[in-house]
A and B are shown apart, each in its own frame.
Chain A
């Protein structure tokens, strides 16, 4: 093939598009050496290809549809009392019940409250799910986890049943500690000796400030927090009632998270005196000086924030991969891909025995994978093991379709005239488009549903089919025509 012919191929728009996309993809993947001299790329890895852990939580709550002839406010109030939990109205016909009940348990309660249950879905409203997401994100961020993702899985009915937390660089134990349990925060006051009395729960805390020095500029650390009006009243009443204002040293205030003491200190002289006369909403818990003080303050801040998720949650599923295993999976995935490409090349060579056909086929096949990887890098899609399987499957179907094109054109071994060639190419493409459409449709449900890891697999397969039909097959058709008509 001389340079003129090569120029002819390269300047064909189909081939040019392919080449440009491959180049762009390489830029998007951006293989480079990082500071430590290791080969790095822009590819993002999911939790089975790097160290990390995931936890999926299920909301112990439900969203129900209802109808009633009574004023809605009254019904909600009555339901709340009867069910002994918070009940919120989401819209005209839907309520969120923040405690787990089965449909059968709820029906008689609704009837008794003068309403009728019309639908039942376990989960919470979108708004509540967003709240939970924010709280979890806060909790995770304050711990300085490298890379964390919190996703609520909201169904088509706008009810979120699950929230999934993915933490990179963390092992399962840590992950469980971070999100596994809902903290129950309580402040108690020491009455006599070891006995204590309840003052308030975490829901009375309206905001928590960052660790700070008090007075500013000193080395004395602590965390400020704000109480609700009711909380401030309860705090003042308890302090006076149990003598913390007159004798702070013998009446410590104790903060508990899940019944474990996390903080215990007397009221300061200042505050004790002040509380005698008026309530205060702004409080400051000092934790000590220096590094120890800062550390304690950071922990206390998390604990105060961890006050509570608004809804009960159960662990629905969880998992994690250790760092070396993740590294090995990554290596294996790479090997599997390369090995697959090689064996495919071998089979193709065995069939056609013509480097002029085999080489473009394998190159086109590889370019498809490069374009897919480029796209994956660009959209910051997290590759996991099923995605790798998807990529290898794309490799397999991709080469299949190139075989269809080649055989269709080479029919009866004769090199076709341009006219006949186009006819045959379009016949081959019609086979390919039908096959591609079926794969597309077959994978669509998986891509749209939330079957966790399978989503990636399906999306990659669909993308692969699209890249193939739109970009690489037409380019191959052009290239193989030039080669065969030589």
Chain B
């Protein structure tokens, strides 16, 4: 397929989307930091890329050739899509250990793995999506978290694609915690219909920012 997502947003719209993702991910990082007992969470510079599905799979497969685990939530409203928190499967117990800072045996950690992954994903993805929704002055309904395991093809394939449509937006950013022991990615997948709606919302956001007449809703929240 062609990367028809690329070039869909103009420079200013892409800049606004990057700013929104930046705010959302910063909030998510603060949440993750709380969950792991105040340890520093490093985020890569949030350069947002709009790429097609095949390019998204290629990027992920290149940087993470092994098996991956993803916590996945659907968001619905004026835009519809899926948000994923992705990391290498080999690191999942490490992440669970980090968020279950209370003294737990290895058996308990294994027992809690699924729930801990779901809850961690829930907190991080909700922080990110809620911040973005507030900035766009819209409401998104966010589903319960689901866990997927597999490679990039599985995660961005039919099982998690918004619709049968080929056009997918892949917003990715990687994060590092525990001195580099745990790395992961946040991705958002939308189809072209949602991307068109998002373009309109970004234009409104840009206009509000230029007017500067209203305070940010997050400043009040």
The finding on whether chains A and B are genuine partners in a shared complex, rather than unrelated, reads: no
Chain A residues near B (Cβ < 8 Å): none
Chain B residues near A (Cβ < 8 Å): none
